[in-house]
Amino acid sequence: MTLFLGVDGGGTKTEFVCIDGEGQVVARALTGTTYHLQVGFDEAVARIGQGVEAVCSQLAVSPADLDYVFLGLPAYGEDPAIDPRLFEACGRVLGHDRYRCDNDMVCGWAGSLACADGINIVAGTGSIGYGERQGRTARAGGWGEIFSDEGSAYWIAIQGLNAFTRMSDGRLPDGPLRQAFVDALGLSNDLDICARVMGENGLSRDGVAALAPIVVDAAIAGDTHANAILELAGSELANIAQALRRQLKFGEDETVLVSWSGGVLTKQDTVRTSMQRQLQSGGSYEFIAPRHQPGVGAALYAASLWRSAGSLSDPSFR
């Protein structure tokens, strides 16, 4: 059996998907996030090993039986000291050199557009955009949660927390958002939120991102500031797509395929609609609902890499 393994590393979880030579999914596994900046280098590598072992166990094969592997890892490509170490560690896990590592943004594009030219915007725990056109590749956004990741769940939560503090001390009119945070976090005093988020037992990156639904619920309850945060999230994500259009040198009259992945864009209509509305006012775009999940996209990309190396006679995996 021909086997292609794709690894989609996210800010909350990592999915391992194996497909056969016909493009059918034959095994799946999940581990926690492989974001090494959050869990540490050794733990990230350990989780990669756990996922590979789980997939191979399901298929009663060894890693050596995997024809090609693509690993899309959070923050890969952003640290010249860590990237080679991660690459080498993946080789030790697999025991062969038939693999490639890249940023997990590639998984979203490969899944959503089935490896077709166009742009994919990822908005989950973090955010980033990636696109390809005639062999050219480009990324935009995704500079990390401290000063970027606009439009992501983490960013939405931070904007919501900021609005909460302003409502609490009178810089903004009180609204449903403030009470939504009080109820969700069980606050007896508004200032308790500081310890809950930033204290000794405070929230991790994905823990902060998990607060984003509070903002969504407040918007549904009619909070104008919460709704403005979601609208701005869509606008920020549209800016990422427009930057990619320019980088990839799509013509002014050329229609660009745009898709999306990550929980914010797949689940929050307000954010996705805002992004699409801004893009439609600034160029020709065709919006494509995701064709596959990012984990499947990673496996499809592994197959594509093997095919481009001349090992496969061009079957359709789309």
Question: Where in the chain are the domains?
Answer: 3-114+292-308, 115-290
Burial 264-287 (b: 16+ CB within 10 A, else e): bbbebebbbebbbebbeeebebee
Instruction: Tell me how far apart the alpha carbons of residues 28 and 22 are, in angstroms, rounded to a whole number.
Output: 16
Query: What CATH class does 3-114+292-308 carry?
Result: alpha beta
DSSP at 80 = T
If you average pLDDT over every residue of the chain, what do you get? 95
Is pLDDT of 63 > 60? yes
* Percent of all residues in the chain with a pLDDT value above 70, rounded to a whole number: 97
Tell me which residue of 183, 208, 169 sits closest to 11, measured CA to CA: 208
**Tens of pLDDT along 182-222?**
999 999 999 999 999 999 999 999 999 999 999 999 999 99
- The model's pTM is 0.90
The predicted-structure confidence for 103-118, as pLDDT tens digits, reads as follows: 999 999 999 999 999 9
Sheet holding 127-133, edge to edge: 136-140, 127-133, 118-123, 256-261, 285-287
At 124-152, the pLDDT tens digits run 999 999 999 999 999 999 999 999 999 99
pLDDT of 264: 97
**Do 114 and 292 touch, CB atoms closer than 8 A?**
yes
Distance CA 29, CA 17 (A): 7
Q: Where are the beta strands (DSSP E) in 95-185?
A: 99-103, 118-123, 127-133, 136-140
**First-to-final CA distance of the chain:** 19
Evaluated on CA atoms 234, 111, 76, 132, the torsion sign reads negative
Distance CA 252, CA 42 (A): 46
Whether residue 317 is predicted with pLDDT greater than 70 in this model: the reply is: no
Whether 176 has a pLDDT exceeding 90, the answer reads: yes
Q: What is the pLDDT of residues 219-237, one digit of tens each?
A: 999 999 999 999 999 999 9
Q: What is the pLDDT of residue 104?
A: 95
Q: Are 296 and 15 in contact (CB under 8 A)?
A: no
- The answer to whether 130 touches 240, Cβ cutoff 8 Å, is no
Residue 318: band (very low, low, confident or very high) from pLDDT cuts 50, 70, 90: very low
pLDDT of residue 309: 85
- Residue 316's pLDDT is 44
Has residue 311 got a pLDDT over 80?
no
Q: How far apart are alpha carbons 215 and 233 in whole angstroms?
A: 12
- The per-residue pLDDT for range 11-26, each reduced to its tens digit, is 889 999 999 999 999 9
Res 12: pLDDT: 87
Let me know if domain 115-290 sits in CATH 3.60.21.70: no
Task: State the pLDDT at residue 310.
Answer: 73
Packing angle between helix 212-220 and helix 176-185, nearest 10 degrees?
A: 140
